[in-house]
C-alpha cells in the first residue's frame, strides 16, 4: 500500500509547483495511474479506499502505522481538503487523475467523478466565551517578548522561558483552528518589524511542521527556532537594517553577519535549544548548496527546520511593509518562491507551503 500513497503525495507536490500540462505533472500522473493499476491487479480487486481514522491512515482495512513522511503528508492533504474517505476505482485514467491531483493540491474544487469517490465531513464545535478567553494567547506574554526584542540591542538578554511559553501558546492556537496560518494584523499596528516578522515566521514554521506530523517538544523546538532565527539582526546597526535602497560593500557584509552573530549568541545563552543556533546559522543557506551566506567551506543541505524557516522568512519578508519595499500580494510571493524551488528552497517543502497558504 505504501507505493500508492508515496506516488499520490509526490504527484500532489509536483502539481503544487507546476501547471497541469507541465511534463513533470504529466509524468507524476502517469506514474500514479500505473501504480494504482498494478495495486488493483495484485490485490484482485476493483478499487482502493483510503480512510482517515484519528491520526491513522487506513487502506483497505490495513492500518499504515509506519509514520513515513509521505504517509503524514498524505493524511494532511486529505484533511485540509475536508476528505475522510477517498476511493479510487479501476478504470481511473490520466485526465481524471490530473483533476484529482489538482483538487488535492488546492487548485481545483474537490469533487467525486466516475472513478473517484470522496467523502467529506464538517464538524462545528461551539465554545462558550469563558473557554475561548482561557485559550487566548496572553497579551502579557506578547508584550514581554516584544519589549525584550526592543531592549536586546542594549542588554543582550532574552526571556527564554517566556518565549517558550509563547510558542506553546502558538501551538495550542494552531491546534484549534481550521486555518493553516494565523494573521497578526493586531500586532502589526504597534510593534517593530523584526519582532512581528519573527513571530510570523515562528507561526509559519509551526504550520509547516504540523502538516508533516511533527508534534510535542520537537514541534516546539521548530517554533522556537523560527522565533529566534533573526536574532542576529538586532546586532546590526539600525542605519544598515533600515536603510532604504540596496546595501553594498561593507553594509552588505554587516547585514550578512547576522546569521553567524545570532548563532553564536544562541549557542552560548543558557537554556536556549540547540536547534535555535543551527537555524539562525543556516536559514540563508541554499537548498542546492550553491554559494550563499554564511560562506561554507564545503556544500551542505540545511536541516529540515532551517529549510522550513528559509521559506517562511522569504514569504513573510515579501508580504510585509518594510523601509525599503512595498509588500507583494500573497499569490505573487508564492510564485516567486515556487520559481526558486530546487535552487534556494526544498521543492517538497515549497509545494507543501503553497498548499498551506492557499488553505489559510
Q: How many residues does the chain have?
A: 360
pLDDT at residue number 314: 94
- CA-wise closest residue to 302 among 263, 329, 248, 337: 263
pLDDT at residue number 161: 87
CB 84 within 8 A of CB 51: yes
CATH numbers and ranges of domains, the chain:
2-120 (no CATH), 129-359 (1.10.3210.10)
Encode pLDDT of 133-143 as tens digits.
444 566 677 78
Per-residue pLDDT of the chain (360 residues; tens, 9 = 90+): 788 999 999 999 999 999 999 999 999 999 999 999 999 999 889 999 988 877 778 887 777 765 677 788 888 889 888 898 999 999 999 999 999 999 999 888 888 999 999 886 444 445 455 544 444 566 677 788 888 888 888 888 888 888 998 899 888 878 765 454 554 544 444 347 788 889 999 999 999 999 888 989 999 999 999 999 999 999 988 888 878 778 889 999 999 999 999 999 999 988 788 999 999 999 999 999 999 999 888 888 899 999 999 999 999 988 875 555 555 677 888 999 999 999 999 999 999 999 888 766
HSE at residue 290, side-chain half, CA atoms within 13 A, is 6
pLDDT at residue number 73: 86
What is the sign of the dihedral through the CA atoms of 172, 176, 179 and 183? negative
pLDDT at residue number 187: 46
The edge-to-edge listing of strands for the beta sheet with 56-59 is 62-64, 56-59, 47-53, 83-89, 116-120
What is d(CA 105, CA 116) in angstroms, rounded to the nearest whole number?
16
Using a 10 angstrom Cβ sphere, with 0-12 exposed, 13-18 middle and 19 or more buried, the burial of residue 173 is: middle
Helix axes 193-211, 347-359, angle to 10 degrees: 100
What is d(CA 40, CA 32) in angstroms, rounded to the nearest whole number?
12
Q: Where are the beta strands (DSSP E) in the chain?
A: 47-53, 56-59, 62-64, 83-89, 116-120
Listed in sequence order, the residues at least 6 apart from 288 whose beta carbon sits closer than 8 Å to its beta carbon are: 342, 343, 344
Amino acid at each position: 500500500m505504501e507505493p500508492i500513497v508515496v506516488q499520490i503525495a509526490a504527484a500532489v507536490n509536483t502539481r503544487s509547483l507546476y501547471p497541469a500540462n507541465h511534463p513533470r505533472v504529466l509524468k507524476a500522473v502517469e506514474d500514479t495511474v500505473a501504480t494504482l493499476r498494478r495495486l488493483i491487479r495484485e490485490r484482485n480487486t476493483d478499487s482502493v479506499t483510503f480512510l482517515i481514522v484519528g491520526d491513522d491512515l487506513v487502506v483497505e482495512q490495513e492500518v499504515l502505522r509506519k509514520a513515513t513522511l509521505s504517509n503524514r503528508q498524505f493524511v494532511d492533504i486529505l484533511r485540509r481538503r475536508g476528505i475522510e474517505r477517498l476511493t479510487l476505482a479501476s478504470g481511473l485514467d490520466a485526465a481524471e487523475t490530473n483533476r484529482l491531483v489538482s483538487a488535492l493540491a488546492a487548485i481545483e474544487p474537490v469533487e467525486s467523478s466516475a472513478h473517484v469517490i470522496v467523502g467529506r465531513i464538517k464538524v462545528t464545535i461551539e465554545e462558550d466565551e469563558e473557554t475561548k478567553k482561557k485559550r487566548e494567547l496572553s497579551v502579557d506574554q506578547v508584550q514581554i517578548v516584544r519589549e525584550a526584542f526592543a531592549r536586546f540591542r542594549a542588554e543582550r538578554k532574552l526571556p527564554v522561558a517566556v518565549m517558550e511559553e509563547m510558542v506553546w501558546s502558538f501551538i495550542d492556537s494552531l491546534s484549534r483552528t481550521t486555518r493553516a496560518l494565523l494573521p497578526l494584523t493586531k500586532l502589526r499596528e504597534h510593534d517593530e518589524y523584526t519582532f512581528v516578522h519573527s513571530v510570523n515566521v515562528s507561526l509559519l514554521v509551526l504550520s509547516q511542521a504540523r502538516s508533516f506530523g511533527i508534534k510535542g517538544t520537537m514541534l516546539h523546538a521548530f517554533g522556537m527556532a523560527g522565533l529566534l532565527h533573526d536574532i542576529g539582526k538586532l546586532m546590526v546597526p539600525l542605519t544598515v537594517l533600515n536603510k532604504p535602497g540596496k546595501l553594498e560593500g561593507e553594509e552588505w557584509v554587516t547585514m550578512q553577519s547576522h546569521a553567524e552573530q545570532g548563532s553564536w549568541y544562541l549557542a552560548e545563552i543558557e537554556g536556549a535549544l540547540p536547534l535555535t543556533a543551527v537555524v539562525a546559522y543556516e536559514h540563508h543557506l541554499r537548498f542546492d548548496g550553491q554559494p550563499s551566506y554564511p560562506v561554507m567551506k564545503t556544500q551542505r543541505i540545511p536541516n529540515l527546520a532551517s529549510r522550513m524557516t528559509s521559506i517562511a522568512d522569504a514569504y513573510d519578508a515579501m508580504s510585509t511593509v518594510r523601509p525599503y519595499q512595498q509588500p507583494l500580494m500573497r499569490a505573487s510571493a508564492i510564485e516567486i518562491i515556487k520559481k526558486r524551488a530546487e535552487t534556494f528552497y526544498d521543492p517538497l517543502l515549497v509545494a507543501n507551503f503553497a498548499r498551506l497558504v492557499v488553505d489559510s
